[in-house]
Amino acid sequence: MAEIRKVMVIGAGQMGSGIAQVAAEAGLQVVLNDIQDEFIQRGLAVIRKNLQRAVDKGRMGQEEMAAVLGRIETSCQLDAGSDADIAIEAATENMDIKLGIFRKLDELMKGDAILASNTSSLPITEIAAVTRRPEQVIGMHFMNPVPVMKLVEVIRGLATSDAVYTAVHELAEKMGKTAVEVNDFPGFVSNRVLLPMINEAIYCVYEGVATPEAIDEVMKLGMNHPMGPLTLADFIGLDTCLAIMEVLYEGFRDSKYRPCPLLRKYVKAGWLGKKSGRGFYVYNN
């Protein structure tokens, strides 16, 4: 396949802005898209803050920062990136939303463009099936925060071609990431292993086994985890944790993936973690 030189990122939130940043830092032209300019500007502000921090620490010069920002254009219209070599969707973890985006991308993007999803758990094969190019659809699951975390899970759908997989693997490495090949199963590897652990920690709170602080302390000091599972859940977003557990539960129909009732209660209460100011801990946002 032709070398990937231009990337469109759909979604300027925490994940999308991070993907746009690392793509631009790798020398790629980037179109950052979202449904409202307000969301795009918020994402750009995060990118500027990250780059300025790198400048302040001497890892990047002011001219390089300006060059990186200069490689990012923005638009609320999907067709602004119709000439991109790859589109990376980083929208809300909702299948209906993602399917709608992929239908539009299939119509708008040039014929040889790759369509990738940053989904953390949803099936790539199902997403690919709504397009006329399922062999060019692939999962590209970045970790949060994108500029810091090295892993990208590259997920083949049932029809994904070898050429597309190779191109995306090389793109991830160009972005400074380590690409790991994963097959298309609910939760892939990362969240199939991580989220049941988080869910079990929530059950420990629910059943009164220990406080959130105690559970996090056990996992940090006893298992050498850099962050406790309940703190991590708050950072991921409890709504996202619940959505992934639902995908696992629906996908495998195994009771071990049943979301904890306390997780459902917190999400219904609007206690979504750090982004809402309250989850298992209280945050001053």
Catalytic residues: 120, 141, 153, 191
Long-range contacts of 113-117 (CB under 8 A, 24+ apart): 113/84, 113/85, 113/86, 113/87, 114/1, 114/4, 114/85, 114/86, 114/87, 114/138, 114/164, 114/167, 114/168, 115/86, 115/87, 115/89, 116/86, 116/87, 116/88, 116/89, 116/140, 116/168, 117/88, 117/89
Q: State the distance between the two ends of the chain, measured CA to CA, in whole angstroms.
A: 45
Q: Please check if 107 is assigned to a binding site.
A: no
Q: Please check if 255 is assigned to a binding site.
A: no
Q: Please give the structure tokens belonging to residue 15.
A: 């994940």
Q: Please check if 144 is assigned to a binding site.
A: yes
Angle between helices 190-206 and 261-269 in degrees, nearest 10: 90
Extended beta strands in 11-85, E state? 29-33, 72-75
Q: Please check if 210 is assigned to a binding site.
A: no
Q: Please check if 16 is assigned to a binding site.
A: yes
Q: Please check if 113 is assigned to a binding site.
A: no
Q: Please check if 14 is assigned to a binding site.
A: yes
Q: Please check if 93 is assigned to a binding site.
A: yes
Q: Please check if 3 is assigned to a binding site.
A: no
What is the rounded distance in angstroms from the CA atom of residue 12 to the CA atom of residue 16?
5
Q: Please check if 13 is assigned to a binding site.
A: yes
Buried b (16+ CB within 10 A) or exposed e, 143-173: beebbeeeebbbbbbebbbeebbebbbebbe
Sign of the alpha-carbon dihedral angle for 106, 185, 181, 176: positive
Q: Which residues are annotated as a binding site?
A: 11-16, 34, 93, 98, 120, 144, 275
Q: Which residues are annotated as a binding site for NAD(+)?
A: 11-16, 34, 93, 98, 120, 144, 275
